[in-house]
Amino acid sequence: MKNIGIIGGGQLGKMIAISAKEMGNNTIVLDPNPDSPAFGVSDEKIISEFDDLNACDILIEKSDIITYEFENIKLDSVEYLEKYRKVFPSSKVLSISQNRILEKEFLKNNKIPVAEFNLVKSEKDIIKFCENFNFPVVIKTATEGYDGKGQKIIKNVNEIPSSYREISKKNKEIIIEKFINFDKEVSVICSRDTSGEITSFPISENIHVNHILDKSIVPARISKTLENKINNLAEIIVNQLELVGLICIEMFVLGEEVFINEIAPRPHNSGHYTLDACDTSQFDQVVKILLGFNTCKPKLLSPAVMFNLLGDIWFDNLNPNWNKALMTPGSKLYLYGKHEPRIGRKMGHINILNNSLDDAIKLSESCKSMLYD
């Protein structure tokens, strides 16, 4: 079996490493934080900044193949790694997904529906965009934004100067988008293996609170027509990217219309339900692709709800009542092993499985409230 290098030691890196290990491989994780969750399960650790070329050399030496768990890595480092080892997804896919402007242009050029957008170089660009498309709009940093960081909704002309000042302080490149008054947010995890076979996981319906994923409901409560449309769009995207690996495509649903918001070339929080509700998890799928195995379509074994455990819980209640919460039928707890709970920090999640989706939703609500008991 293989030595799999993983850049990033967070929960996604940890779960990739667990799947890799289950399939008999060795893992080498690179992360600057000595307390990284993935270090607890990897065979080897490299404690170093992601852009340190000496660390990259060690990773090259120790790995047969390399992947990453997040997209905010310096592109130069991945291009360097690619000279010596296969990196999946490729630096080409990474370069598109790590810059919202390139990402939106790529999607638009491939006739994939996205919210109207434009580049912002000055306040005037915002005013002009709003004259054409009206309020509300969202301005976002082109790079390094996640979980709602680096973005601001602008509801009227008075909010333009302060919002522009705030966002332009963070990043030089800014994008403006029309705010979509969506009915639902959904995502699909789609993979393409080395033989070009494309498979998609069931579509997940995602509820965000304060821009952070709160819960995923699967299967998403959308029409069959919409489901087919989303799967077709996903296929076009992965083909056009010439992806080898796995991506998550996040989108807004408005009536029977869909607008792609973001693509992430890695396993995703909204795919954690696959750990228990599918015959193959998103982490198994990525590992299979890294190993050069063929993939088949993952099957949903049960309706499921996944809800995140943010650090906030520990501030509200120092000792969450795990015992009571886990008496919920069909529940499974995942804690990532992060030592310090912080507001908004993803510390873990709970998956709830039930034959009835409505019951799974109700049980997820009661399970969460038990934590505060």
- Which residues lie near ligand AMP (CB under 6 A)? 115, 138, 145, 148, 151, 177, 179-180, 185, 208, 211, 261-262
Tell me how far, at minimum, the Cβ of 137 lies from ligand AMP, in Å.
8
Of 70 and 179, nearer to ligand AMP (C-beta) is 179
3-class SS of residue 254: strand
Of 1 and 207, nearer to ligand AMP (C-beta) is 207
Tell me how far, at minimum, the Cβ of 251 lies from ligand AMP, in Å.
9
Q: Supply 121's token pair.
A: 């170089």
User: If DSSP states are collapsed to H, E and C, what string results for 91-158?
Assistant: HHHHHHHCCHHHHHHHHHHCCCCCCCEEEECCHHHHHHHHHHHCCCEEEEECCCCCCCCCEEEECCHH
Tell me how far, at minimum, the Cβ of 357 lies from ligand AMP, in Å.
21
Of 185 and 193, nearer to ligand AMP (C-beta) is 185
Tell me how far, at minimum, the Cβ of 145 lies from ligand AMP, in Å.
5
Q: How far, in Å, are 167, 169, 175 from residue 152 at the CA level?
A: 7, 13, 11
Of 262 and 284, nearer to ligand AMP (C-beta) is 262
> What letter represents residue 248's amino acid?
C
Of 121 and 211, nearer to ligand AMP (C-beta) is 211
Say if CB 335 and CB 324 are below 8 A apart.
no
The DSSP-derived string for 20-58 is: HHHTT-EEEEEES-TT-GGGGT-SEEEES-TT-HHHHHH
Of 183 and 358, nearer to ligand AMP (C-beta) is 183
Q: How far, in Å, are 14, 266, 370 from residue 322 at the CA level?
A: 22, 30, 8
> Which of these, 363, 137, 362, 96, lies nearest to 242 by C-alpha position?
96
**Cα distance between residue 49 and residue 33, in whole Å:** 9
Of 100 and 288, nearer to ligand AMP (C-beta) is 100
Tell me how far, at minimum, the Cβ of 344 lies from ligand AMP, in Å.
13
Tell me how far, at minimum, the Cβ of 333 lies from ligand AMP, in Å.
25
Tell me how far, at minimum, the Cβ of 144 lies from ligand AMP, in Å.
11
Question: How many CB atoms sit inside 10 A of residue 53's CB?
Answer: 13
Long-range CB pairs of 16-20 (<8 Å, 24+ gap) are 16/67, 16/69, 16/267, 16/283, 16/286, 16/287, 17/41, 17/42, 18/283, 19/281, 19/283, 19/284, 19/286, 19/287, 20/287, 20/290
Say if CB 37 and CB 14 are below 8 A apart.
yes
Tell me how far, at minimum, the Cβ of 263 lies from ligand AMP, in Å.
10
Say if CB 66 and CB 81 are below 8 A apart.
yes
Tell me how far, at minimum, the Cβ of 125 lies from ligand AMP, in Å.
16
Tell me how far, at minimum, the Cβ of 9 lies from ligand AMP, in Å.
22
**Cα distance between residue 31 and residue 53, in whole Å:** 13
Q: Supply 325's token pair.
A: 């919460």
Of 37 and 145, nearer to ligand AMP (C-beta) is 145
